[in-house]
Amino acid sequence: MDRRIWLGFILAAMVVYVGGCKEAGTMSIKTEPFGQTPDGQAVDLVTMTNPSGIEARIITYGGIIVSMKVPNRDGKLGDVVLGFDKLDGYTKESPYFGAIIGRYGNRIGAGKFTLDGVEYKLAVNNGPNHLHGGIKGFDKVVWKIEQAKAEGDEAILKLSYLSKDGEEGYPGNLKCTVTYTLTADNELKLHYEATTDKPTVLNLTNHSYWNLAGQGTGDILGHELMLNADRYTPVDEGLIPTGELKSVKDSPMDFTESKAIGSRIKDVDIGGYDHNFVLNGETGQMKLCAKVYEPKSGRVMEIRTTEPGVQFYTGNFLDGTLTGKGGKVYQKHYAFCLETQHFPDSPNKPDFPSVVLRPGEKYDITTVHKFSAK
Name the residues annotated as catalytic. 207, 339
| Cα separation, 162 vs 140, whole angstroms | 13
**Do residues 295 and 221 make contact, with C-beta atoms less than 8 angstroms apart?**
no
CA distances from 262 to 72, 212, 225, 308 (A): 22, 15, 10, 25
Listed residue (223, 235, 227) closest to 268, CA to CA? 235
Instruction: Please list the alpha-helical segments (H only) found in 83-235.
Output: 87-92
Give 200's strand partners. Answer: 357
Q: What is the distance between the terminal CA atoms of the chain, rounded to a whole angstrom?
A: 55
Q: Which of 114, 113, 107 is nearest to 128 (CA)?
A: 107
Output Rg (C-alpha) for the chain, integer angstroms.
22
Among 316, 304, 248, CA closest to 276: 248
**Pick from 26, 96, 137, 116: which is nearest to 335 by CA?**
96
- What are the two backbone dihedrals, phi and then psi, of residue 340, each rounded to the nearest 5 degrees? -65, 135
Cβ contacts of 119 within 8 Å, gap of 6 or more: 112, 113
